[in-house]
Amino acid sequence: MTEPLISDGHLNSRERRKLVAVIAGACAFGYAAALALMLMQGNWVIDAQGRPLVVDFVSFWAAGHLALNHAAVFAYDPHLQHIAEAAAVGHRFEGALPWPYPPAFLFVAAVLALLPYGASFLAWCAATLAGYATLVAAIARCRTALVLACAAPWVLANAIPGQNGFLTAILIGLALMSLERRPALAGLLFGLLSYKPQFGILVPLALAAGGHWRAFFWAATGALATNLAAGAVFGFATFDGLVHALMHNAKNYLVNDAFGESGWRKIDSFYGLARATGFPASVAADLQGIVTVLTALAVTLCWRARLPFALKAAVLAAAVPLATPYVFVYDLPMLGIAAAFVFRHGAFDKTDSALLATTVPSIFAPVWFALPTPLFASLAVAALAARRCIAALADSPHMQSALGDNTRGRLAEGASRSA
């Protein structure tokens, strides 16, 4: 017997999925149309004179050219990197586009620099978005998730500056998908995540708490081997340059607000929130430290608990952006990975959907408010994962045997009640 189209005045689940797919498709098409229009008007990738716009991708392409010309270490000198960037865009400009990445990311930058700027920019955005959307659909085991991934609010945040958030999410997602069956591959992928070391803080804790020692070993080996290979190719002086670049960036962007007026809203962490609301660096650092410790504790407990692996993976992916003071809106595609793992465990109910819906205004709100509101998108996805974990623990045989019927019933009802 087929499911009725309308039951008790509501669309059935199949029709709801179709409606969600249509809405997501419309959003994704709108993003593509907006970007195409911006490109034609000279407001994206290149300006009206055919020169590269000054956005983050310029730093990738310029550093890649330095690497190809055996001058990779210059990318870590703010003055010399700025000269290379000015040469790339064809004119002088104010401000800085720093290169704070470990030498391993120079491999990617060098490949990008092999193409003309415009083609490189578009190919980078298209390839990383396609890989990200495909991975989200594979994790969720739902074809509609591919469209939803392309309609996520952080798509524009990545595409407009040509940033690398999709690549980060791909590495995290592939590593977690591989962990149970291919621990060595998972470890190597986690090792590649060392190109953004601030997002690797929680990974060793999760692997150790879950007893994934083989992956732990390969993650350390992969990170070491990749960066040693980069040193051999681009020169080991790049590591000294990296230390100086990180110290320079920390001083400029975490202490002195080099972003300018209302710049703290661009740092989407508890540290950024504290600075945006007027607290000094010391107080903001203490607050971030407390949050980092709490997220580390939560990840450790979840990965030690008797939880389905999909929920453990969701907790780690959702906790990663909360544990670091240095995170931007374009880093948040990893939240899509977390949501996909939650869906892999079980379809969303109304409360889950409502939590995800709050990510849309959170991502776009900084346009109107001088606050790092994308932080609340991270909190919403973390709440989604935590809520599902609480429900799973309440329903586990081990927990049920430890609780009385009344307590167990209250826990399960409170964790799984729909909005």
Which pLDDT tens digit goes with each residue over 169-213? 999 999 999 999 999 999 999 999 999 999 999 999 999 999 999
User: How many other C-beta atoms lie within 10 A of the C-beta of residue 83?
Assistant: 15
| pLDDT tens digit sequence for 312-322 | 999 999 999 99
196 close to 221: Cβ distance less than 8 angstroms: no
The residue-averaged pLDDT of 382-386 equals 97
The residue-averaged pLDDT of 92-115 equals 93
What secondary structure letter does DSSP report for 30? H
198 close to 324: Cβ distance less than 8 angstroms: yes
pLDDT over 90, % of the chain: 77
154 close to 327: Cβ distance less than 8 angstroms: no
What pLDDT does 19 receive? 82
* Tokens 């190719």, located at residue: 233
pLDDT above 50: residue 157: yes
Main-chain dihedrals φ then ψ at residue 255, nearest 5 degrees: -115, -50
The two tokens of residue 346 are 């079980």
Nearest to 52, CA basis, from 76, 83, 27, 85: 85
Model pTM score: 0.90
What pLDDT does 394 receive? 87
83 close to 99: Cβ distance less than 8 angstroms: no
Q: 3-class secondary structure for 161-219?
A: CCCCHHHHHHHHHHHHHHCCCCHHHHHHHHHHHHHCHHHCCCHHHHHHHCCCHHHHHHH
174 close to 265: Cβ distance less than 8 angstroms: no
What pLDDT does 250 receive? 78
Angle in degrees, 0-180, between the axes of helices 165-178 and 309-319, rounded to the nearest 10: 150
Main-chain dihedrals φ then ψ at residue 107, nearest 5 degrees: -60, -45
User: How many other C-beta atoms lie within 10 A of the C-beta of residue 360?
Assistant: 14
- CA angle at residue 43 from 41 to 45, to 5 degrees? 110
- CA angle at residue 107 from 198 to 47, to 5 degrees? 90
| pLDDT tens digit sequence for 21-55 | 888 999 999 999 999 999 999 999 999 999 999 99
DSSP reduced 3-state for 52: strand
| pLDDT tens digit sequence for 232-253 | 999 999 999 999 988 887 777 7
The two tokens of residue 247 are 């110290």
